A and B are shown apart, each in its own frame.
Chain A
Amino acid sequence: MKFFRSVGQVFGYSPFPTLVKHAVLCGRAVGILQKQFEAYENKDFNLVEKYRDEIDELESQADELKEEVRTHVTRSMILPIDRQDLLEFMRAQDEIINNCEHVGHMLTFRKVKLDVNIAGDFKILLAKIMECVNEYERMVEHINTLIETSFDKKEIQTILEIIQEVESLEHECDQVQIKLHTLLFNSNELNPLDVLLMDTWVVHLGYIANATARAADRFRLMILGR
Chain B
Amino acid sequence: MIEVLIILTVISAFYMAWNIGANDAANSMATSYGSRALNLRQIIIIAAVLEFLGATFFGKNVVKTLAKGIVPIESLDPHLVICGAVAALLSAGLWITIATYLHLPISTTHSIVGAMLGFGIAAVSQGHLSLNAIKWDELIKIMLSWLVSPITGAILAFSIFSLIRLILFRKFHYERVERAFRYLQVFTASYVAFAHGSNDVANAVAPLALIFGHKVGAYYEIPTEILAFGGLGIAFGVATWGYKVIKMVGERITQLTYTRGFSAEFATATTVLVASALGLPISTTHTLVGSVIGVGLAGGLAGVNLRVIQRIIFSWILTLPISMLLSIGIYTILVVFV
Q: Mark out the residues of chain B between 282 and 298 whose CB falls within 8 Å of any chain A CB in the assembled complex.
A: 285, 288-289, 292-293, 296-298
* Residues A147 and B302 in contact in the complex (CB < 8 Å), given A3-B241, A153-B170: yes
The docked-state distance in angstroms from the alpha carbon of A78 to that of B296 is 6
The docked-state distance in angstroms from the alpha carbon of A166 to that of B257 is 31
| B303 & A7 in contact (Cβ 8 Å cutoff) | no
* Residues A4 and B300 in contact in the complex (CB < 8 Å), given A152-B169, A152-B174: no
Tell me which of A6, A10, A79 contacts B302 (CB under 8 A). Answer: A79
The docked-state distance in angstroms from the alpha carbon of A7 to that of B283 is 12
Q: Of the 9-residue stretches A13-21, A110-118, A127-135, A210-218, which lies at the interface with chain B?
A: A13-21
* Residues A77 and B288 in contact in the complex (CB < 8 Å), given A152-B169, A152-B174: no
| A77 & B304 in contact (Cβ 8 Å cutoff) | yes
| A14 & B303 in contact (Cβ 8 Å cutoff) | yes
The docked-state distance in angstroms from the alpha carbon of A12 to that of B311 is 14
The docked-state distance in angstroms from the alpha carbon of A10 to that of B307 is 8
In the complex, whether A225 has a CB less than 8 A from a CB of chain B is: no
| B303 & A11 in contact (Cβ 8 Å cutoff) | yes
| A7 & B30 in contact (Cβ 8 Å cutoff) | yes
Determine the chain A residues whose CB is within 8 A of the CB of B288 once the complex forms: 7
The docked-state distance in angstroms from the alpha carbon of A9 to that of B303 is 11
| A152 & B170 in contact (Cβ 8 Å cutoff) | yes
Determine the chain A residues whose CB is within 8 A of the CB of B161 once the complex forms: 150
| B304 & A3 in contact (Cβ 8 Å cutoff) | no
Q: Mark out the residues of chain A between 1 and 38 whose CB falls within 8 Å of any chain B CB in the assembled complex.
A: 1-16
| A4 & B308 in contact (Cβ 8 Å cutoff) | no
Contact residues of B: prevailing secondary structure: helix
How many chain A residues touch B (CB < 8 A): the figure is: 30
Determine the chain A residues whose CB is within 8 A of the CB of B301 once the complex forms: 11, 78, 80
Q: Of the 9-residue stretches B50-58, B221-229, B247-255, which lies at the interface with chain A?
A: B247-255
| A149 & B302 in contact (Cβ 8 Å cutoff) | no
In the complex, whether B27 has a CB less than 8 A from a CB of chain A is: yes
Contact residues of A: prevailing secondary structure: loop
The docked-state distance in angstroms from the alpha carbon of A226 to that of B26 is 35
In the complex, whether A148 has a CB less than 8 A from a CB of chain B is: yes
Tell me which of B23, B165, B241, B304 contacts A10 (CB under 8 A). Answer: B304
The docked-state distance in angstroms from the alpha carbon of A90 to that of B163 is 31
| B308 & A10 in contact (Cβ 8 Å cutoff) | yes
| B292 & A5 in contact (Cβ 8 Å cutoff) | no
The docked-state distance in angstroms from the alpha carbon of A8 to that of B31 is 9
The docked-state distance in angstroms from the alpha carbon of A71 to that of B321 is 36
Determine the chain A residues whose CB is within 8 A of the CB of B245 once the complex forms: 4, 6
| A76 & B305 in contact (Cβ 8 Å cutoff) | yes
| B101 & A7 in contact (Cβ 8 Å cutoff) | no
| B302 & A7 in contact (Cβ 8 Å cutoff) | no
| A4 & B23 in contact (Cβ 8 Å cutoff) | yes
The docked-state distance in angstroms from the alpha carbon of A15 to that of B256 is 15
Q: Of the 9-residue stretches B71-79, B103-111, B114-122, which lies at the interface with chain A?
A: B103-111
Write the nearest CB–CB distance from B234 to chain A, whole angstroms: 15
| A148 & B305 in contact (Cβ 8 Å cutoff) | no
Interface centre among B28, B104, B174, B285 (most CB of A within 10 A): B174
Interface centre among A8, A80, A151, A152 (most CB of B within 10 A): A8
* Residues A80 and B299 in contact in the complex (CB < 8 Å), given A5-B104, A14-B255: yes
Closest 8 CB pairs of A and B: A12-B305, A14-B302, A8-B252, A12-B303, A78-B304, A78-B296, A7-B27, A149-B174
A9-B305, A79-B304 are known; give 4 further A-B pairs, CB within 8 A.
Answer: A4-B103, A4-B248, A5-B100, A6-B27
